A = this chain, B = another copy of it.
Amino acid sequence: MGTGLIGGSIGLGLRRRGWWVTGRDVNPARQARALELGALDEVGTDPEAMVTFIATPAGAVAEEAAEALEHTGAVTDVAGIKGPVLAKVDHPRFVGGHPMAGSEQEGVDGSDPDMFEGATWVLTPAANTDAGAFATVRSVVSTLGANVVELPAARHDDLVALVSHVPHLTAATLMNLAADTALEHATLLRLAAGGFRDMTRVAAGEPAIWPDLCVDNRAGILDVLDRLLVALGDVRQIVATGDRAQMLDMLERAREARVNLPAGAPSSEKTAELRVPVPDRPGVLAEVTTLLGEMAVNIYDLEIAHSAEGDRGVLVLVVDALATDRVRQALHIRDFRCSVRRLGP
C-alpha cells in the first residue's frame, strides 16, 4: 500500500527475488507508474497476501493497517516514527517497521531494488506481537538484504531523534546560517568545501515529512536538542578560554567514535545458532529479540519452530559466534535456557 520511493523499492526488490507483488496507491498516476516500472505484478489488494507493507506517510498507516488486518497475513509499515503508529494500531499481526534508507524522497521514479541492501531495518515487536507474523515480516525484510534490528518502539523513537531528526534539523540550521549571510552568500558558498557539503547534504531532502516527524517525536527531539545546546555551549566555553587540551580531547573522542562507526553488515562467516525453548505466550518474542537488539547482537536469521503440542516453541536465532556466551548469560538471567550450535567452517 503506497508506491512511492520506499514502496516502489520494496516492490522491485521483492519481485526480483521471485515474490508476487500486488499493490496500489491513492494517487492513480503513481500507481500506474509503479506498475510500469515493474514494482508491481498487478494493481489491487490481495486478501491472501502473506505480508502487507504499508508504505504511506505515517498519518495514513492506521487506516490502511485496519483494512489489511481484515485479512490473515502479517502487516508492517515503514513510518519513521513508531510510538504514535503503534498507539493507533494495536494488533498481534501488526509489526512496526522502519527501513533506514532512502529518506530523501524522490518518488517512485527513484525506486531501487537494492535500496535496502546492507541498510538497517528496525522492527518493533510489542508484548502482544504474534510470533508467526513477526517471523514472516523479519524473513521477508531480510530477503531485501536489510539488517534487521529489533527495538521497543519508544526506544527506537528516542534513538532516531539522536541519529536522524536532530542531525537533520542541525544541518538545515547550518545551511540557513550560511544562506543568511546574504551579502556575500555566493562567495561564502564557493568556500564551502567537502566537509560543509557532507554536513548539509541531508538538508537537500524533501521537507514534507518533517513537520509530522517533529510533532510525533516532539519529546525525543526536544530532549536531544537540549543536550546538543548544552554540549555546544561547552564547546563555546572551550573556544572562549582557548583550552587546547580540552579541545583536542573533545575532537579525539569524536574521531574515535566516528572511526568506529560500523560501515555496514558484518560479513562474518563465524555464526552460531541459538535454540531457545520458549513458552508460546505473548511477549516472549519481543523480550528476546529486543534484548539482543539492545546488546547490539545482530540476528542474522530467526525462525520459530512450534512444538507439536502447540504450547511451547523453539526460537531459533543465528548470531555472531563471538556473541553467544554473552547472549546465553543474558538469556539465563531472564530464565531462558538455550542450546548453541556453531555454523560455518
* Chain A positions near chain B (C-beta within 8 angstroms): 100-101, 103, 119-120, 122, 147, 149, 151, 155-156, 159-160, 162-164, 166-179, 181, 184-208, 210-212, 214-215, 218, 221-222, 224-229, 231-233, 235-236, 238-240, 242, 244-245, 247-248, 250-262, 293-296, 298
Q: A160-B191, A177-B228 are in contact. List 15 more A-B contacts (CB 8 A).
A: A166-B174, A173-B250, A176-B250, A179-B256, A189-B261, A203-B257, A207-B248, A211-B247, A212-B244, A222-B240, A225-B232, A225-B236, A225-B239, A228-B232, A232-B232
Q: Is the CB of A211 within 8 A of B255?
A: no
Q: Could you tell me the distance between the alpha carbons of A12 and B164 in the complex, rounded to whole angstroms?
A: 40
A204: B residues at CB distance < 8 A: 255, 258-259
Contact (Cβ within 8 A) A173 B215: no
> Assuming the A-B contacts A210-B247, A239-B222, are A147 and B254 also in contact, with contact meaning beta carbons closer than 8 angstroms in the complex?
no
Q: Which of B199, B229, B247, B296 contacts A171 (CB 8 A)?
A: B199
A263 to chain B, nearest CB (A): 9
Chain B residue numbers with a CB within 8 Å of A122 are 191
Q: Is the interface of A mostly helix, strand, loop or mixed?
A: helix
What is the minimal beta-carbon distance from A253 to any residue of chain B, in angstroms? 6
Are B151's CB and A187's CB within 8 A? Answer: yes
3 tightest A-B contacts by CB? A186-B296, A207-B251, A172-B254
Min C-beta distance of A69 to chain B, whole Å: 27
Q: How far is the CB of A53 from chain B (nearest CB, A)?
A: 19
Residues of chain B within 8 A of A218, CB atoms compared:
239-240, 242
B187→A159 contact, CB < 8 A: yes
- Contact partner of A174 (CB less than 8 A), chosen from B170, B198, B200, is B170
Known: A239-B214, A262-B190, A294-B184. A255 touches B205 (CB 8 A): yes
